[in-house]
């Protein structure tokens, strides 16, 4: 059974669990009608199943390579990206003013979910281009918008983001890249960047780099960083790729997975660039791109988890060991857990996307605050689910899962990095308990109240499941109050288990909504029972760890840890 886009799941979630209808009721997203949604689901699903999914193994077996300073893509990737571009799938949420569809980010995330499950290495190119489009829409000058956005939106050109340097990973303020004014409104960009996904390719006519660098009068740290557009080829008078810019790919990283996605070391040698946004405000502009990417990376985890689950389900039905192994209790446990986790993570990601869209469409601060709160949860939980489900896929395959020819291990190798890039999951957790709690927890408490209200309403239909969800939400509320009373070091020490507890409760909430939508009996209710009775109780252990704070951790000195 090859990968099959879960179109039916999206119909159900967007219809019954995280409704899309309120978005279509706004003036901004009035075109997101049921007919339009169905066209997006069917069209993107067909492209993913028929064009992208067959490329996944080729990308793993025949990696991108560097030849004479130019990256050559894996077999079929050029045609695959052309299908993405020609279908308009880069442009789902892009502004209609420059050729985009102008549809909600929610639908864009649906498409990204399916593309990630079909061929994550190729989806990364489209994802980074989408992030660059959003950053330019919000921060670039009219001249840059007019030149670059139509090309990026059409898929003629692709985009990257350049943050990381050898000495500056999560500590972006430690970067050394410099930008010297040339006196004509342009700048000479010099420095080295590492871990640049799709830093070069033969898929598009030009590769457009957003590069963080420091102006001569830039203050130390992140407050002195500016953002620049630095294209591979300098646009000529007609806006077409002209002479080569002074930048190059030094090398490609040899990675655990994602072999079809080239990860480049880039060198900028007085390359010509244009300022994007205000001087010294580059981090604000780049965060527009990064926040888009953080939600999308969580969606990547969900997409790969979906593909790994489908692979495991197929194998379990075919493999006979005293009968089909799908009939063995432990295999059934693994499959049910995988399916329940994928549903929960997908619903959380889509809830985040809907909140983001409603915030933009209505201007209401509460929706923006909810999207901000859910973003680190969606990113961390989605990628954790991607890793865990992919690892379980190997386990379902038994010894054959460890053999590369089966393809089971590729899911884990490809998805593993998603918990690291765009801010590690530990950083996401610290963001949740730090910046996202600067409102004294108001956004979190509003969301937990909604969970409790939903559980109360569900008691008449599924009393035990509803009662368990209500109790978990109330306990999480109390834990959040204790968290807010802690110092920041103690918060950070317990941040990861706190985020996992929050994700568990939200996953249960959406499973409960699914059970109610089904009428309290049927396969979705049975799946909700698996999640709520077997997985939800993990929240209590996670909160117990979170409450411990940092004291016990720092009682162990570096010398103690070395023993």
Contacts of 283 (CB under 8 A, 6+ apart): 172, 212, 222, 223, 225
Burial of 186 (0-12, 13-18, 19+ CB in 10 A): middle
Would you list the domain boundaries of the chain?
159-280, 426-549
Q: At residue 1, does pLDDT exceed 60?
A: no
Q: Which two tokens stand for residue 31?
A: 């075109």
Residues 6 or more apart whose CB falls under 8 angstroms from that of 253 comprise: 194, 195, 263, 264, 265
Structure tokens at 135: 């950053």
How would residue 517 be classed by pLDDT, with cut points 50, 70 and 90?
A: very high
DSSP lists the bridge partners of residue 273 as 187
List Cα–Cα distances, 488 to 243, 407, 430, 435, 519, in angstroms: 51, 43, 9, 11, 44
Residues 6+ apart with CB under 8 A from 560: none
**For residue 508, what are the contacts with CB-CB under 8 A and spacing of at least 6?**
344, 468, 469, 472, 528, 531, 532, 535, 536
pLDDT at 51: 98
Distance of CA 236 to the CA centre of its chain: 35
Contact 36, 23 (CB under 8 A): no
For position 454, what pLDDT does the model report? Answer: 98
CA gyration radius, the chain: 23
Whole-prediction pTM: 0.96
Confidence at residue 169, expressed as pLDDT on a 0 to 100 scale: 78
Q: In angstroms, rounded to a whole number, what is the distance separating the alpha carbons of residues 368 and 362?
A: 10
Q: Token pair of 178, please?
A: 């410099």
How far apart CA 152 and CA 2 sit, in angstroms, is: 31
What is the number of alpha carbons within 13 Å of residue 297 lying toward its C-beta?
30
d(CA 456, CA 467) in angstroms, rounded, equals 8
Q: What CATH code would you report for 159-280?
A: 2.40.110.20
Share of the chain above pLDDT 90, in %: 92
What is the Cα–Cα distance from 356 to 26, expressed in whole angstroms?
13
Residue 114 has pLDDT above 80, yes or no: yes
Q: What is the largest CA-CA distance in the chain?
A: 77
Structure tokens, 339: 């399916």
Angstrom distance (rounded) from CA 163 to CA 196: 8
CB 289 within 8 A of CB 229: no
d(CA 165, CA 194): 5
Residues known to be catalytic = 422
- Residue 49's pLDDT band, with cuts at 50, 70 and 90, is very high
Band (pLDDT 50/70/90 cuts) for residue 563 is confident
Which pLDDT does position 2 carry in this prediction? 85
CB atoms within 10 A of CB 478: 10
Question: What's the residue count for the chain?
Answer: 563
* DSSP classification of residue 557: -
Torsion angles phi and psi, residue 40, rounded to 5 = -65, -50
- How confident is the prediction for the chain on average, in pLDDT? 96
Structure-token pair, residue 509: 């909430």
- Position with higher pLDDT, 499 vs 561: 499
Q: How far apart are CA 107 and CA 94, in angstroms?
A: 12
How far from chain centre, in Å, is Cα 257? 17
Helix axes 495-518, 523-530, angle to 10 degrees: 160
Give pLDDT, residue 285.
Answer: 83
Rounded Cα–Cα distance for residues 297 and 375 (Å): 10
Q: Report helix, strand or coil for 228.
A: strand
Q: Read out DSSP for 391-441?
A: HHHHHHHGGGGGSGGGSHHHHHHHHGGGGTSSS-HHHHHHHHHTGGGTTTT
Find residue 226's DSSP bridge partners: 213
Nearest residue to 93 via CA among 126, 46, 51, 53:
126
- The CA distance from 141 to 159, in Å, is 17
For 389-425, what is each residue's pLDDT tens digit? 999 999 999 999 999 999 999 999 999 999 999 899 9
pLDDT of residue 292: 75
Of 75-89, 287-301, 326-340, 438-452, the one with minimum mean pLDDT is 287-301
The more confidently predicted of residues 131 and 1 is: 131
**Residue 485 banded pLDDT, cuts 50, 70, 90:** very high
Sign of CA dihedral 171, 173, 176, 181: positive
Q: How far apart, in whole angstroms, are the C-alpha atoms of residue 378 and residue 385?
A: 10
Per-residue pLDDT tens digits for 257-275: 999 999 999 999 999 999 9
Task: Collapse the DSSP code of 60 into the 3-class scheme (helix H, G, I; strand E, B; otherwise coil) and give the result.
Answer: helix
What are the residues whose beta carbons fall under 8 Å from the beta carbon of 211, sequence distance 6 or more? Answer: 162, 177, 189, 191, 193, 227, 228, 229, 230, 268, 273
Q: Confirm if 552 and 490 have CB atoms less than 8 A apart.
A: no
pLDDT at 23 over 60: yes
179's enclosing H/E stretch is strand 178-181
**Strands 157-162, 206-214: parallel, antiparallel or unpaired by DSSP?**
parallel
């Amino acid at each position: 059974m090859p990968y099959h886009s879960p179109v039916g799941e999206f119909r159900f979630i967007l219809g019954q669990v995280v409704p899309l209808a309120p978005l279509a009721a706004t003036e901004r997203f009035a075109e997101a009608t049921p007919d339009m949604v169905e066209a997006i689901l069917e069209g993107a699903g067909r492209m993913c199943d028929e064009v992208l999914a067959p490329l996944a193994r080729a990308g793993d077996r025949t990696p991108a390579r560097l030849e004479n300073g130019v990256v050559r893509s894996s077999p079929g990737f050029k045609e695959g990206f052309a299908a993405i571009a020609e279908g308009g799938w880069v442009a789902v949420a892009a502004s209609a003013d420059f050729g985009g569809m102008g549809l909600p980010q929610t639908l864009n995330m649906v498409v990204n979910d399916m593309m990630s499950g079909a061929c994550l290495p190729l989806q990364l190119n489209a994802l980074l281009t989408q992030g660059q489009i959003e950053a330019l829409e919000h921060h670039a000058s009219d001249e840059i918008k007019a030149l670059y956005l139509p090309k990026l939106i059409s898929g003629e050109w692709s985009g990257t983001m350049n943050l990381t340097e050898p000495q500056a990973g999560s500590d972006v303020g430690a970067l050394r890249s410099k930008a010297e004014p040339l006196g004509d409104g342009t700048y000479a960009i010099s420095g080295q960047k590492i871990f640049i996904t799709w830093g070069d390719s033969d898929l598009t006519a030009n590769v457009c780099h957003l590069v963080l660098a420091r102006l001569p009068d830039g203050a130390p740290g992140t407050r002195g960083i500016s953002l620049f557009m630095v294209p591979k080829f300098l646009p000529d008078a007609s806006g077409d790729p002209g002479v080569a810019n002074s930048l190059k790919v030094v090398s490609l990283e040899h990675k655990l997975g994602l072999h079809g996605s080239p990860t480049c070391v880039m060198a900028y040698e007085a390359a010509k660039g244009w300022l994007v946004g205000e001087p010294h405000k580059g981090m604000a502009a780049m965060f527009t791109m990064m926040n888009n990417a953080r939600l999308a990376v969580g969606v990547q985890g969900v997409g790969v988890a979906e593909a790994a689950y489908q692979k495991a389900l197929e194998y379990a039905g075919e493999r006979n060991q005293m009968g089909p192994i799908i009939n063995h209790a432990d295999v059934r446990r693994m499959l049910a857990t995988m399916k329940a986790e994928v549903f929960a993570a997908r619903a959380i990601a889509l809830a985040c996307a809907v909140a983001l869209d409603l915030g933009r469409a209505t201007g209401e601060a509460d929706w923006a605050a909810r999207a901000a709160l859910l973003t680190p949860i969606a990113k961390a939980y989605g990628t954790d689910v991607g890793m865990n489900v992919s690892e379980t896929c190997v386990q379902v395959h038994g010894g054959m899962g460890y053999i590369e020819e089966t393809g089971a291990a590729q899911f884990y190798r490809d998805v593993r990095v998603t918990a690291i890039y765009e801010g590690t999951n530990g950083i996401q957790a610290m963001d949740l308990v730090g910046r996202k709690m600067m409102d004294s927890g108001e956004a979190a408490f509003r969301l937990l109240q909604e969970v409790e209200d939903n559980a109360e309403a569900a008691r008449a239909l599924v009393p035990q499941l509803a009662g368990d969800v209500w109790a978990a939400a109330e306990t999480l509320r109390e834990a959040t109050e204790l968290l807010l009373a802690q110092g920041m070091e103690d918060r950070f020490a317990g941040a990861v288990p706190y985020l996992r507890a929050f994700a568990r409760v939200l996953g249960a909430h959406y499973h409960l909504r699914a059970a109610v939508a089904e009428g309290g009996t049927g396969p979705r209710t049975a799946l909700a029972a698996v999640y709520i009775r077997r997985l939800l109780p993990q929240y209590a252990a996670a909160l117990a760890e979170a409450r411990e704070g940092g004291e016990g951790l720092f009682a162990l000195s570096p010398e103690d840890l070395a023993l």
